[in-house]
Amino acid sequence: MNNYNEAILEELIEELSLPEDILITEIPDLELYMEQLTTFIDNKLESQKDRGQDKVLTKTMINNYTKAGIVMPPVNKKYNKRHIMLLLLIYNLKNILSIKDIKSLFGPVLNNIATPEDDLISLEDIYATFLEVKNIELACFRQGLPEKANRIKAMTASSDKGNKETAELFLIVIMLAAQADAHKKLAEKIIEKYF
């Protein structure tokens, strides 16, 4: 891979590493009203907003998750730490999994989402593990990408057509999409078969 594309990839990976997750210790122990909840999450995850996205989490989204049964209803219109962790997990998972799959996945582990006593794994442990695994995966991704990028460079090495940089970046996007699709399909198969 030429130095130009290596610099681009390194810069983009650095941007991926920047968004901060909300740590369990940062989640307030206070119960929040809907507006406070959406403001808290929006402020904390500002850097993770998609292009053109006004809010990370909207009132409508939260209400839909509650209606779908993957988030417990608020108590006296207030949301607690358990609600927030669950909403943050859903926010991260919904980019890959359908709401139906998320509900199926959480069902046997969280049993009755409103009561933590019968959880197979505590929601705090699930959330903490998710954050840890996410950071490990990003580090592994960062380490493995140069080898994959070099394979793509080898594919375009014999090309004498102009703008190899664009061709290399195009092939990297295709490779990343194929990799993401394989991971997504495997996750869906596991949910389908075991949850």
At residue 10, the pLDDT reads 79
Distance CA 128, CA 26 (A): 12
Q: Where are the domains of the chain?
A: 3-194
**DSSP per residue, 26-89:** GS-SS-EEHHHHHHHHHHHTGGGPPTT-S-SS-HHHHHHHHHHTSSPPPBTTEE-HHHHHHHHH
At residue 4, the pLDDT reads 64
- Partners of 32 in the beta sheet? 79
At residue 164, the pLDDT reads 79
CA-wise closest residue to 99 among 55, 131, 67: 67
Length of the chain: 195
Q: What does DSSP assign to residue 20?
A: P
* Low-confidence stretches of the chain (pLDDT beneath 70): 1-4, 17-19, 50-52, 111-114, 161
**pTM of this structure:** 0.84
Phi then psi for residue 174, to 5 deg, are -60, -45
Q: Which helix (H) or strand (E) holds 110?
A: helix 99-110
At residue 52, the pLDDT reads 66
At residue 133, the pLDDT reads 93
Looking from the CA of 157 toward its CB, the CA atoms found within 13 Å total 8
At residue 146, the pLDDT reads 82
